[in-house]
Amino acid sequence: MAVDGPPVPDNRLAARSPHVQHPVAVLAKHPGLFGYRIRPETGATFDTLITLVDATLRGLIIMAQPVPGIATSLVSASPFGAATAREWSLPALGAGSVATAFLEPDPGIKWDGERVARIRQLLSSPIPPYD
């Protein structure tokens, strides 16, 4: 059973710093791991997604000095289709908002026990097979 789709080419990957290169490389090799794909109408790539999430989080870091507590403050919200409100940090809301703008469930992914078992195996491995 394959847990991923075809690799997503992105020529800008080589120019990224290591903290951005790794997640882009993982997503490019395993785009369907969690059953999501980039929304085709966005024209984006996984590099685009990671770059925007990174920029959102870096912006909060930059704001931390003039606005103490910005990264740790919590808001009660039920974003992204959640049924009940929970406490969310601004970094989580920001990163999640960017991700949901670009990701959608992949209709080509079949969720069954075998798939779930394979994903659990991949995620529990001390040495990720996708490095």
Q: What does the alpha-carbon distance between residue 129 and residue 131 come to, in Å, rounded to a whole number?
A: 6
Tokens of 99: 């991700």
Task: Please report where in the chains the tokens 């980039």 appear, as a residue.
Answer: 38
Q: Give the pLDDT confidence score for residue 131 in this predicted structure.
A: 47
Is the sign of the CA dihedral 29, 33, 34, 36 positive or negative? positive
Provide the whole-model pTM.
Answer: 0.70
Domain boundaries, the chain: 13-124
Q: What does the alpha-carbon distance between residue 63 and residue 96 come to, in Å, rounded to a whole number?
A: 19
Give the model confidence (pLDDT) of 86-115 as tens digits.
999 999 999 999 999 999 999 998 889 998
End-to-end CA distance of the chain: 19
Give the model confidence (pLDDT) of 36-90 as tens digits.
899 999 999 888 888 899 899 999 999 999 999 998 899 999 998 889 999 999 9
Task: Please report where in the chains the tokens 């789709």 appear, as a residue.
Answer: 5
